Amino acid sequence: MFTEAPLRSSFRQVATTDLLELGRDRRLVATVVACWVLWGLALALSIDEHLQTTADRDLATEASREAWLSQGQRNPHDAGHWGTFLFRERTPLALLDPGIEPAIGSWIRLETHTQHDADGRPLDAATQEARWSAVHPAFVLGTLVPLLIVILLHDRVCGDREDGRWSLLLVSGLSRRDLVTGKILAASVVGAVVVTPMLLSGATAVLFVSQDTDLVRVISWAGAAALYTVTWILLGLAISAAMNTRSRALLLGVAVWFFGVVALPRVAVSVAEAVHPAPSAWGFARSVEQLQDDRWTIPYRASVSFNAIYSRIESEWMTKQGVSDPALLTVDPFGFAIEETEEQGQRAYDRTYGDLVRTFEQQDEVTRLIGLLTPAVAFGRFSAGLAESDLAAHQRFQEEAESYRRAMMLTLNMAVAHRGRERPMTEGSRMDGSFEADRRLWESIPPFRPEGRSTSEVLTSVRGDLVSLLAQALAALTLACVLIKAR
């Protein structure tokens, strides 16, 4: 009963001494303030960019929908070639971590016969001011904060040893367990001081831009960011305990930061691309164009294969309806023939795009495995996945857009089949376009409304990265305890 209180106060005394020393170092205080300023600047730019992007997207979506509805009387097949545009939505969390969004397309054109890839990369049209938004909040937290931590903590153990205070502390009656606990407690307070204002301001910004934001996602992101920070705090203490001098500890800390945060994530991507090579954007676009040339000649050019399909369908319907003259049919074979060629193209596109998606999935698995060596990869994947700004979210957008396109073209083709009359085409001729639909048909195609994923689905998709981050934090804790006790 009489020894427990002194033991409790002992590790607190170690923590208090460390915190006082750090607080008296004006250079370190200035570094923390500079980090806060950079975070604030990145957050302000991200908020402005997010609000502008969202407003532009809403305006473009409305204009595209109005253009579709206001096209006037037109043959439905012509309307399919007229097409429309779909624009990808952004989640509020994307203002904290835009992921790969600046480097990928943000809209897709829909038209008959063709499955387009996403276009309109924000970086292609970015102004100098917009390019500064690349320094987004997740970059500050994931890249700069770890560097700040290893700088702040590089002398917390080796400095005491180099000055001779470590031996004095042990001689004074403090146990190694007290020293370990005190050092970790002080370092945790430092980390809390650094990142708490960032996390609170980031969460406030997300709630500001969208009142419908799911708090569970915001809290999950903040929790993962805090865990990531703790991991680097423990690594910083382990590095300080592993070295005998301040200069060596600082050098090792910067080297570990560079390897874990800057180099290894890029090496992981390069290795994944080398093991599972994917075609370049230009090469894939060229293969899609070749696919279109090989499987389909535009109807205006009177493809023989289309005429064969038309003749077969016409004969089938004449048999079904028991008529000997095509003019007596109550349906138009042209609509069914166009839909059949659409389905042929869809199967070809599914194979081509499916191969690409599988390659990306294989690359992602390689990146994830290599990323087990550094918490930066696990946190980056968790953050972008939670914000739905990763490659998987982009692929879902493309799949949903293609499903919408196919349903749209089916509606148009069936309108021709059941309400219009076309004639098979011959070389050099044009379809007569005798049937024209009006706004009622255009309105029968609903606006594009992607199926949003629930928070539970999103968290399930990133749970592997969270487990990896937890494992790395425990490994860092074990390493720090072992190295500090060994001193």
The confidence score (pLDDT) of residue 166 equals 78
Q: How many residues does the chain have?
A: 487
Residues 6 or more apart whose CB falls under 8 angstroms from that of 175 comprise: 7, 10
CA-wise closest residue to 122 among 68, 63, 221, 46: 46
Number of neighbours of residue 325 by Cβ within 10 angstroms: 7
Residue 163 has pLDDT above 60, yes or no: yes
Residue 191 has pLDDT above 70, yes or no: yes
- Residue 161, helix vs strand vs coil: helix
The confidence score (pLDDT) of residue 4 equals 44
Residue 427 has pLDDT above 60, yes or no: no
The confidence score (pLDDT) of residue 122 equals 57
The chain-wide mean pLDDT, for the chain, equals: 84
- Is the Cβ–Cβ distance between 462 and 386 less than 8 Å? yes
The confidence score (pLDDT) of residue 425 equals 38
User: DSSP per residue over 328-384, as a string?
Assistant: G-SS-HHHHHHHHHHHHHHHHHHHHHHHHHHHHHHHHHHHHHHGGG-HHHHHHHHHH
Least confident of 201-205, 350-354, 405-409: 350-354
pLDDT, tens digit, 9 for 90 and up, residues 387-397:
999 988 989 99
The confidence score (pLDDT) of residue 127 equals 43
Round to whole Å and give the CA distance between 195 and 323. 78
Residue 447 has pLDDT above 50, yes or no: yes
pLDDT, tens digit, 9 for 90 and up, residues 64-123:
999 999 999 988 988 999 899 999 988 999 999 998 888 788 889 999 888 888 887 654
Least confident of 64-68, 364-368, 377-381, 427-431: 427-431
CA-wise closest residue to 477 among 22, 485, 170: 485
Round to whole Å and give the CA distance between 465 and 385. 9
SS3 readout for 260-282: HHHHHHHHHHHHHHHHCCCCCHH
The domains of the chain are located at: 1-487
Token pair of 471 as six digits: 């494992």
The confidence score (pLDDT) of residue 259 equals 95
Residue 449 has pLDDT above 60, yes or no: yes
- Band of pLDDT at residue 134, cut at 50, 70 and 90: low
The confidence score (pLDDT) of residue 348 equals 79
CA angle 427–432–437, rounded 5-degree value: 140
Mean pLDDT of 348-353: 83
Round to whole Å and give the CA distance between 155 and 186. 13
pLDDT, tens digit, 9 for 90 and up, residues 251-290:
999 999 999 999 999 999 899 999 998 877 667 767 766 6
What is the DSSP code (8-state) at residue 437? B
- Band of pLDDT at residue 400, cut at 50, 70 and 90: very high
Residue 141 has pLDDT above 90, yes or no: yes
The confidence score (pLDDT) of residue 281 equals 67
440-444 contacts, C-beta under 8 A, 24 or more apart: 441/76, 441/79, 441/411, 441/412, 441/415, 442/68, 442/69, 442/71, 442/79, 443/69, 444/411
The confidence score (pLDDT) of residue 303 equals 46
The confidence score (pLDDT) of residue 231 equals 95
Residue 90 has φ and ψ, to the nearest 5°, of: -115, 140
User: Model-level pTM?
Assistant: 0.85
Q: What percent of the chain has pLDDT over 90?
A: 44
- Band of pLDDT at residue 7, cut at 50, 70 and 90: very low
- Is the Cβ–Cβ distance between 225 and 143 less than 8 Å? no
Round to whole Å and give the CA distance between 366 and 278. 14
Mean pLDDT of 242-253: 92
Of the spans 178-187, 244-253, 345-354, which averages the highest pLDDT?
244-253
Place of tokens 């804790």: 477
